[in-house]
Amino acid sequence: MTAPPQAPRGRAAAFNPDNRYARSRREDFDDGWERDDEPAPTAATEWLIDASRSVIARNQSPDVPFDRSINPYRGCEHGCIYCFARPTHAWLDLSPGLDFETRIHYKPDAARLLRAELARPGYRCAPIALGINTDAYQPGERRFGLTRSLLEVLLEHRHPVSIVTKSALIERDLDLLAELARANLVEVAISLTTRDRQLARRMEPRAAAPERRLETLRRLRHAGIPTSVLVAPVIPFLNDDELEDLLAAARAADALDAGYVLLRLPLEVAPLFEDWLNRHYPLKAERIMKRMRDCRGGANYDSRFGLRMRGEGVYADLLRARFRRAHARLGFQPSPPLDCEVFRVPDRPEQLGLF
């Protein structure tokens, strides 16, 4: 039997499946020249300019608590194999596989575009979710500083913002976040998947280590920033037994609230995740996928609002009950709504020129 392909060092995906819009299809085959004892290949990150003319994306999804978001990066170097955003790389005519981890678009004009959109006459203030599709604090942020420049604009105009990240780099912006927090303009969720370092390294190869994320939670709370933990994704027979432990660890780090999301496998994510399972956990792979299909009406994924995050059936109901019980026992409480009343509309120089 041919061994599964090796992923490049520091990457989760082992190959580049054709995206769903591709006009042609490729298929790997074994020509006999590959050796099992050869070292894993490498794959460097390529940064590409995204020339978007707007930066705020809108949605009408009834199962998410925001209607607008900003993603300063498209693709993510963290390389989480389970990332539900991988299929968005098909819109760039790139693969949701290795391309998603290594060919990353960044928006150098993000702050300027945000200021212009906030100044539009019809703009109505509501919390902006920052870095929802791909992490706003992925490694490239050290180089480009786009997220910090966006926070500077939001602080200047007193605009509320929520952030989800699994990166300790957010601590760099504690000064801005603390000032936003004093005006009830920010909340941060730290994504925590496992406390098993080996599993985390395989599943999220370039994200912060689990204990480092917990330390980030502590430092954010020490700075007075409302902080929660998001246990995501929960994967049957891989990390689901850690649910209560992860919630307890987050509460010990002074997280105020918590949430969870069941593994999502939309479009090209499913074959990538199955390949990853067969490489790292071959004895569990079939069992994990069977349980996931039990939660998704027999399919790999169910995109219906209200079910895509939680699933349905006996296992999903049990997971929901476990979370609710632990959430109540540990004393988690939601933070108050962010303040939208103090928003300051940016100046509109093009209008001032008329007077």
Give the three-state DSSP class for 164: strand
Assess whether pLDDT exceeds 60 at residue 351: no
Helix axes 243-252, 314-329, angle to 10 degrees: 20
- pLDDT number for residue 31: 53
Residue 207: inside a domain, yes or no?
Answer: yes
Question: How many C-beta neighbours within 10 Å does residue 352 have?
Answer: 8
- Structure token pair of residue 37: 């004892």
Residue 309: inside a domain, yes or no?
Answer: yes
Number of domains the chain is built from: 1
Residue 2: inside a domain, yes or no?
Answer: no
Contact criterion met (CB below 8 Å) for 163 and 127: no
String of DSSP letters for 70-139: E-SEES-TT--TT-TTGGGGGGGT--TTHHHHHEEEE-TTHHHHHHHHHTSTT----PEEESSSS-TTST
Contact criterion met (CB below 8 Å) for 42 and 9: yes
- Structure token pair of residue 234: 């929960």
**CATH number, domain at 158?**
3.80.30.30
Helix axes 146-156, 174-182, angle to 10 degrees: 20
Residue 81: inside a domain, yes or no?
Answer: yes
**Containing H/E element for 58?**
strand 56-58
* Of residues 149, 207, 187, the one with CA closest to residue 66: 187
Give the three-state DSSP class for 183: coil
Assess whether pLDDT exceeds 70 at residue 323: yes
Assess whether pLDDT exceeds 60 at residue 37: no
* Of residues 311, 140, 287, the one with CA closest to residue 232: 311
Residue 37: inside a domain, yes or no?
Answer: no
What are the pLDDT digits (tens) for 39-90?
556 789 999 999 999 999 999 999 999 999 999 999 999 999 999 999 999 9
Q: Which domain holds residue 75?
A: 46-332
What are the pLDDT digits (tens) for 233-248?
999 999 999 999 999 9
State the Cα–Cα distance between residues 207 and 201, nearest whole angstrom. 8
Residue 217: inside a domain, yes or no?
Answer: yes
- pLDDT number for residue 217: 98
What are the pLDDT digits (tens) for 101-120?
999 999 999 999 999 999 99
Residue 353: inside a domain, yes or no?
Answer: no
How large is the average pLDDT for residues 130-137?
A: 96
- pLDDT number for residue 354: 41
What are the pLDDT digits (tens) for 49-59?
999 999 999 99
- pLDDT number for residue 1: 36
Residue 6: inside a domain, yes or no?
Answer: no
